[in-house]
């Protein structure tokens, strides 16, 4: 989702990186907000290839991004209009990742890297999901926004769905998104 709030601030939601929680924080912050037309609209939808001064997005370890994506799809159903769903759907996490690596074979980056790079170059602040509340609080302080108390952390994806991989396949997946993982400090 793309959210404008308090006129000058923008949040660009990379799927599976804490967007429901961030939306709840924004809704509870004093001021007004408006959601973009597309739930995961990137910065280019706002008409430019420049860095938005008061903007942010959230990321997570690319490896755990795939785990969360798979769990969410198993729990909520696969879509017919999403490239990973169409080309990579699997009855197990291992089959899903095998398909992802097959489809993306020959690309310099993995799917998560390609997704992240649609957002990261255009935002001023990149927050890590693993430390989301303290990082959001620091950003709110920097921007002189009132931090809303009592916003519940939402995670609607079940962790009971198995997302274990054989060591060799896990290593291949890590290599596919290695550059962005290093850039973001995950490796």
* Per-residue pLDDT band at 38 (split at 50, 70, 90): low
pTM: 0.88
E strands, the chain, in order: 2-5, 9-12, 33-35, 52-59, 123-128
- Tens of pLDDT, residue by residue over 139-175, are 999 999 999 988 877 777 777 889 999 999 999 999 9
Domain of residue 162 covers 2-183
* Per-residue pLDDT band at 90 (split at 50, 70, 90): very high
Residues 6 or more apart whose CB falls under 8 angstroms from that of 102 comprise: none
E strands, 61-175, in order: 123-128
pLDDT value, residue 41:
59
- The count of domains in the chain is 1
Tell which residue, 96, 117, 122, 126, has the closest CA to residue 179: 117
């Amino acid at each position: 989702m793309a959210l404008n709030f308090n006129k000058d601030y923008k949040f660009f939601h990379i799927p599976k990186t804490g967007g429901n929680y961030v939306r709840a924080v924004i809704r509870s912050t004093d001021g007004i907000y408006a959601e973009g037309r597309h739930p995961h609209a990137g910065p280019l939808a706002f008409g430019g290839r420049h860095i938005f001064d008061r903007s942010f997005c959230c990321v997570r370890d690319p490896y755990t991004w795939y785990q969360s994506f798979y769990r969410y799809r198993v729990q909520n159903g696969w879509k017919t209009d999403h490239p990973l769903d169409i080309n990579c759907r699997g009855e197990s996490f291992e089959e899903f990742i095998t398909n992802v690596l097959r489809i993306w074979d020959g690309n310099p980056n993995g799917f998560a890297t390609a997704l992240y790079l649609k957002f990261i170059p255009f935002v001023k602040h990149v927050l890590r999901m693993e430390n989301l509340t303290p990082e959001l609080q620091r950003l709110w302080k920097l921007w002189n926004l009132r931090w809303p108390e009592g916003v519940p952390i939402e995670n609607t994806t079940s962790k009971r769905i198995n997302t274990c991989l054989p060591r060799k396949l896990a290593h291949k997946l890590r290599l596919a998104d290695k550059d962005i993982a290093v850039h973001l400090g995950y490796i």
